[in-house]
Amino acid sequence: MEKIKFEDLLGSGAHFGHVTRKWNPNYKPYILMEKNGVHIINLDETIRHLYRAVDFIQEKAKKKGEFLFVGTKKQARDIVQQEADRCSMFYVVERWLGGTLTNFTTIKKSIKRLNLLEKEGSQIYENQTKKEIQMLNRERIKLSDQHRGIKDMRRLPDAVIIVDASLETTAVKEASVLGIPIIAIVDSNTDPTPIQYPIPANDDSIRTIQLIMNVVADTIMEVSAKKANNSDDKDTKDAIVNVSKTEEVATKETALEEISKKEKVEKPDEKLEETK
């Protein structure tokens, strides 16, 4: 992962907060100053908290942790989906369904229903009228839109990564209830208190969202790549050891055969000696 620079954040407009009248008092530690009625976010704090979040992500990723990316606002949808796909993680970019985490058992049943509807040649379509098939297709499309980013999620995530914690209040509440750690981009209108790993930055800037989500995805990918390389190295070492052991055994067997042959040649026949 490339180190994120102060200039990169400054160029993306990450330092622009909301107008002063919309600020949250708990956000005060991350504010540098006020300019033209707008709060300016301290980018040194942004970098410090981003690397703190990155360290946590690395720890979880090393233990095969799974992450859920959440970004339903217009500016974030495409970026969140793209970066989550890139690091093979789950995402929610449509409306957050209440109970996605706290009522995950029901969500799993809904996903199971979707898999049944999407299965080719499924018995569910047999002996159905045209109208009933149309209704099933509508249900399939609706469920597909709702669950497309979490269709393969078999368990609750180890952490939730959120763009705009103020907008995704339901996701924040559900994760907090279940004790799931939250990493979130928080703007000056947001209360950072419920967030375990807040990243103070402008959550309305497409370039800022892209920059931070890119760092997060790169971190997950690098850890996964290192683990894959280590396992490959281990397999190679094991293969070399096995080959060397096989060669050693073969060498010993050959040596024993040669010794036995020499003994047969050099040792006189006992029966012949008795006859003599």
Bridge partner list, 207:
none
Read off the pLDDT of residues 141-173 as tens digits, 9 standing for 90 and up. Answer: 898 888 889 999 999 999 999 999 999 999 999
Here the contacts of 207-212 (C-beta below 8 Å, separation 24 or greater) are 207/11, 207/12, 207/13, 208/9, 208/12, 208/13, 208/14, 209/71, 209/75, 209/76, 209/79, 209/80, 209/163, 209/185, 210/12, 210/79, 211/4, 211/8, 211/9, 211/12, 211/14, 212/14, 212/50, 212/185
Model confidence at 246, pLDDT cuts 50, 70, 90, reads low
Q: Which amino acid is at 269?
A: D
Q: Does the pLDDT at position 126 exceed 90?
A: no
* CA-wise closest residue to 117 among 95, 132, 150, 139: 139
Q: Where are the alpha helices (DSSP H) in 87-168?
A: 104-118, 130-147
Q: Among the listed ranges 64-78, 187-201, 219-233, which one has the minimum average pLDDT value?
A: 219-233
pLDDT at 255: 52
Domains in the chain, please, with CATH? 6-228 (3.40.50.10490)
**Predicted TM-score (pTM) above 0.85:** no
- The pLDDT confidence band at residue 232, using thresholds 50, 70 and 90, is low
Cα separation, 63 vs 61, in Å, equals: 5
